Amino acid sequence: MANIGFIGLGNMGLPMAINLVKAGHAVTGFDLSSVAKEAAQDAGLSIVNEMIAVTKDAEIVVSMLPNGAIAKSVVQEILPDMADGSLLIDCSTIDVSSAREIHEMAEKSNKLCLDAPVSGGVGGATAGTLTFMVGGSDEAFAKASNALDIMGQKAVHCGDGGSGQGAKICNNMLLGISMIGAGEAFALAEKLGLDRGKLFDVISTSSGSCWSVNTYCPVPDVGPKSPADNNYEPGFAASLMLKDLGLAMEAARDAGASTPLGKHATDIYNQMSELDHGDKDFSAVINLLSKLD
C-alpha cells in the first residue's frame, strides 16, 4: 500500500480519495474549504492544514483542481518537497499548454508526472468507475496503475505529457456538439407532432444512434434514466461543458485547427450561461434550442 497525498477534495476529489482509503492506502488530504476538510475527516482521511504537508513521505500526489493557473501554482509549490522519483497525477481538466508546463516543471525537478483528466462525473468518482485519459511517460503510467485502477474502471495512455488533456477536450467537444444535435432533433420532432418515445426507438437503433440519445437522452421519460428525468439536475453541469469547450477552442487556436461546430456549440452553451442556466445539466440545452428561432 502506498502513501498518497491528495490536493483538492471537492465533489470529484473527495470520492476519489475515499476509494483510495477503502483500498487500504494511507491518504493525506488538503483543501482550502473547511466544509471539504470536515467531510474528508468524516470519511477517514488524514487532513493537514498546509498544502506542503501532503508531500511528506508521499510516493504519489494526486491533484484535482479548478483550472490551469491554480494547478501550475500548486505544482510549483509542492514539487521541491516531493521525493525524487515520486509521482504527480494531475486529474484536473485544464488547458493543454498548462499541462505541458507542469510536465516540464516535474521533469526539471526529477519527478514523474501524468496529466490524467477524468470522465464519468461525480457518480463515476463515487463508484470508482471513472475513465482516465492519461498523458506522460510509460514509467509514470506504470507507477500510477494501481491508484488509477482503484479510482476508475479504465485508464487510456494517450501519449506524452499533455495528451490526456488533449483527448479529454476532443471527447467533450464532440459530446457538446452531439448533445446539441440530439436536442435539435427532439425539438423538431415535437413541432412536427412526433411521439418522442417512438423517435427514441428510431434513433437509438438507426444511423443517428449516439451516446447523447441512447444513454443520456435530453427529454424525460425516454430511454435510460437521465438528468432530464430529474428536472435537469446536473450529472455534468452546463457551466462545466462551457469550460471544456473553451479549452477546446483555445487548443484549436494554438494548433491551427478548424472547429466550426465546436465554436458554434461554445456560443450556444454561452447563451445558457448568460441566461443563468449554467447550473443545470448540459442536456438542458434542449430547452434553449426549443425557444430559438
pLDDT at 293 > cutoff 70:
no
pLDDT digits (tens, 9 = 90+) for 10-49: 999 999 999 999 999 999 999 998 888 888 888 888 899 9
pLDDT at 122 > cutoff 90:
no
* Rounded Cα gap, residues 25 and 32, in angstroms: 23
pLDDT > 70: percent of the chain: 100
Q: Which of 281 and 42 is assigned the larger pLDDT? A: 281
**pLDDT for the residue numbered 263:** 98
pLDDT digits (tens, 9 = 90+) for 208-236: 999 999 999 999 999 999 999 999 999 89
Spell out the long-range contacts of 65-71 with Cβ–Cβ below 8 A and sequence spacing 24 or more.
65/7, 65/8, 65/90, 65/92, 65/94, 66/92, 67/92, 67/94, 68/92, 68/94, 68/95, 68/97, 68/98, 68/99, 69/98, 71/98, 71/102
Task: Decide: 220 and 266 in contact? Cβ < 8 Å.
Answer: no
Cell representation of residue 95: 488547458
Question: What value does the mean pLDDT of the chain take?
Answer: 95
**pLDDT for the residue numbered 45:** 87
Cell representation of residue 88: 504527480
Just list the catalytic residues. 168
pTM for the model stands at 0.91
**pLDDT for the residue numbered 34:** 87
Cell representation of residue 263: 465554436
pLDDT digits (tens, 9 = 90+) for 143-162: 999 999 999 999 999 999 99
**pLDDT for the residue numbered 181:** 98
**pLDDT for the residue numbered 1:** 82
pLDDT digits (tens, 9 = 90+) for 71-109: 999 999 999 999 999 999 999 999 999 999 999 999 999
**pLDDT for the residue numbered 111:** 97
